[in-house]
Structure formats: structure tokens, C-alpha cells
Structure 1
Amino acid sequence: MNQKDKMVKLAISGGISFGAKLNAKQLTVIAEYMNESDELELTTFQQLYIEVPESKVEQVKEKFQEVGLSCYPVGNFVKSLRTCNFCKGAEQEGMPVAIELNKRIAGKPVPFTLRPAYTGCPIGCGEPMVNDIGVMKVRNGYNLYVGGKAKGMDAQTGILLMEQLLPKKLYEVIEKIIDIYSEHGKKREPFFKFINRYGLDNIKNQATGQKLL
């Protein structure tokens, strides 16, 4: 490796499946790009951070993807979707919806790191209520929460924005909310602070054409 080669941090995960797991082959491939003294950082968002040479980023991404690892940028982007373990089954708990939602929003640039979460039932193992954007599958629909905050003395649960959405509408509303935040959020303004400043009713009206009751 060129000693002057800049190191780039990548966020990697095993994708959305039954639990946050990595298999032996994936771990072996990750180890190929680490020195003995290197460390992996495990985040609370089911991701691993690894540093690789800038000149090898595309090569590393391709190699990781070959073994089923997903790669995301680190910084002020939408994080990959934090999920539950889908303990009752992929279809029953909406795994295809979680996979599609993640594909649509993960890695989008935003004013400040945005954390979305998903859970397949009201038990809430994916912790949607305490993340920026939360989705909870309830019966045959999806409830959407915004503005949760897990840390600090001002921690709070998210606000129920819409109930019993079908997948297509769920994707559309969440993508629109992220677009509104990207356009109108201030630099490094956390999402819950943006909601307080911009107004929840304004966000819902622009994202859905509906006003809060």
C-alpha cells in the first residue's frame, strides 16, 4: 500500500435478514483488508466501520458485495435501516418491505446523520420509537413515526405521523420527508430539532398533502 494513500472509512453490514449476523466467509473477506493491529468499530446501528485505502475503495466494495455484505458511506447520510430479528418469518413481519425501504433511502446525503429503524410487530425490537424515522408493522399496514431520540436528558419517543400505510405509500412519504429535510435542514441540524423548527404539520402537509388532526 502506498504510504501516502488516504484511508477511507466504510460502514458495512450483513444486510437485512433474520438478525444482525455475519457468516464465516464474510468475516474472512473483511479480515483480508485489515492489518494485525487494525480494529473494527461496532456501532449501535448494526454496522461495522472499517478503514481501507482510498485507492482500493471500489475494489473492496465489490469484494464485500460478492459475499453479501452491504457498504454505506460514513458521515451525514441516511444510515442503513436498523431492523428487528424477524422472528415470526420474513413475510409475516414484512422483510421485503424493509429491504426495499433500505434500498431507497440508505446513503442519501442529509444535513446530519439520520437514523431510520424498522420493526415487524408492536413489540418493537428494532426500536423505531426512539429513532429519527421509525416504521412499525401493525397487522397488515405500517405505522410511521418521526422525531424519536434515544440519547441525552431530552430523549423522547417519536410522534405517530401516519397509520396503516401500504408499502408504496410508505416509501413515498419517507422519501419525501427525507427530501424536505435535505432541502430545508440547516447544516448539522439533528432531525428532531429540524421537526421542532420547521413544524410537524408543515412536514406532514408537504409529504402527504394531509394536516395533523
Structure 2
Amino acid sequence: MENVVKKIKIAINGGIDFGAKLSAKQLITISKYMNEDEQLELTTFQQLYIEIPEDKKEEIIEEFQSVGLACYPVGNYVKSLRTCNFCKGEEEEGMPVAKELNRRVAGKPVPFTLKVAYTGCPVGCGEPLLSDIGVMKMKDHYNLYIGGKAKGKDAEVGSLFKENLTPEELYETVEKILAVYSKQGKKRESFHKFLKRFGKEQLIG
């Protein structure tokens, strides 16, 4: 009887950068862990899902990270930031803030999959108003939107929750929101439904 290799699914992407891109080296590294008939699933979160042997999880993740791939858990977690293409340059479009926000929140366990989007200007290419939590850079400050829902007949644009935040205020506010949702949200209760039940005004007091 052949030994069956137990596999687990992880999410990967090229990290927070100028658009959703992968290098040739990254693609070659990913392909090492795929059979010819296997396929990669591209999600709306700008992530790729790949199955890897569970017993080699740590070493494979380390190899992925060595070529610049970011790795995240799959399931009911905060997804990595969905971003715009940062068309005017790193500092002007606030990429350092996007990277730090992603570092602080991506992969945190929550009652149900939660999408955070970030855009570097009011054009909103990262679709922040259609995400559970959305961030829009406004000159030197940041506006925070919550409660967006992109799918279903009850689709809804997110509403402005806080405006003119500094980077530290932004990080702190988003982390507080996630802490309340993690504690008060019901199992598999989407963030959109949670806000309807719990009330936006109750989020951070």
C-alpha cells in the first residue's frame, strides 16, 4: 500500500508591492511543489492557494519566504491587504503604511474570513469601500471605512468610520476593531453581519 502524503493548503503572494506581481524565481520555486496536472487557485484577495506536504510545511514556507513570497493561513483569518498598484511611487502612495498594516493584521484568526483593502489615493483602485475594512490615503492622512460587502443582492458600500488618521492611529484603530470582532463575533458570522448586529458605534467605544 502506498504511503499517502497528507497535504495542507496555504495562501501565498508576492507581498505588498507595486501591484500584484510574481517574479520568475518565485514562479519556479512554486512550481517545484506542483505536479504537471495541478492548478493554482487565484483568489479575489490577490492570493494563490497551493497545497504542500504537511510534514514539510515549515521548510517549504521558509523557502518561499527566501524568494520574497509571503505566506498566510487559509480559512477564517484576516486576509493580506488587497492593494492598488501604487502608481505614483512608494512614499507618496503610502506603501510603507500598507506594509506595516499588513504585517500587523494579516493572518489573525477571526470568526469569518475578513478582507482588508488599501488604496493610495481617492481613485480607490484597491476597492476599499467594497471590503470589510478599507483604507484610503488622503494626502498625509488616512480615512478608514468599514462594512463594505461586494457580493450578493444585499451588496453595500462601506461607510466612513474614522478620517484624517495618522499611521499609528490607523494601526491602533484597525487592531481594536479586529479585537472586538474576534471576541464578540459569532462563529462564521461575517463582519458585515456582525456590524449590523453589534453596531458600528460600539466597536471601539
Cα separation, 1, equivalents of 2:14 and 2:61: 13
Per-residue deviation, 1:7:
0.9
Per-residue deviation, 1:44:
1.1
Instruction: Indicate the SS of the match to 2:160.
Output: strand
Per-residue deviation, 1:103:
0.1
Q: Is the 8 A contact 2:176 2:204 kept in 1?
A: no
What residue in structure 2 maps to residue 181 of structure 1? 181
Q: Within 5 A, what are the aligned runs for 1:1-213?
A: 3-205=3-205
Instruction: Indicate the SS of the match to 1:157.
Output: coil
Q: Is the 8 A contact 1:137 1:143 kept in 2?
A: yes
Q: Which amino acid aligns with 2:16?
A: I
Q: Which amino acid aligns with 1:28?
A: I
Instruction: Indicate the SS of the match to 2:83.
Output: coil
Per-residue deviation, 1:146:
0.4
What residue in structure 2 maps to residue 210 of structure 1? none
Cα separation, 2, equivalents of 1:196 and 1:204: 15
Cα separation, 2, equivalents of 1:128 and 1:118: 6
Cα separation, 2, equivalents of 1:74 and 1:31: 19
Cα separation, 1, equivalents of 2:3 and 2:50: 18
| Deviation per residue, 1:154-213 (Å, 9 max, x gap) | 0011010000100001000000000000000000000010001001111142xxxxxxxx
Instruction: Indicate the SS of the match to 1:8.
Output: strand
Normalising by the residue count of structure 1, what TM-score does the alignment of the two structures yield? 0.94
What residue in structure 2 maps to residue 208 of structure 1? none
Q: Count residues with an aligned counterpart.
A: 204
Cα separation, 2, equivalents of 1:47 and 1:41: 8
Cα separation, 2, equivalents of 1:201 and 1:16: 31
Cα separation, 1, equivalents of 2:88 and 2:125: 12
| Deviation per residue, 1:42-94 (Å, 9 max, x gap) | 11111000001101111110000000000000000000010010001110010
Structure 1: 4+ residue segments shifted above 4 A: none
Q: Is the 8 A contact 1:7 1:54 kept in 2?
A: yes
Q: Which runs of 5+ in 2 are unaligned?
A: none
Q: Is the 8 A contact 1:161 1:204 kept in 2?
A: no
Percent of aligned positions with the same letter in both sequences? 65
Q: Which amino acid aligns with 2:170?
A: L
Q: Which runs of 5+ in 1 are unaligned?
A: 206-213
Cα separation, 2, equivalents of 1:4 and 1:107: 29
Alignment RMSD: 0.8
Per-residue deviation, 1:3:
3.1
Instruction: Indicate the SS of the match to 1:34.
Output: coil
Per-residue deviation, 1:5:
2.5
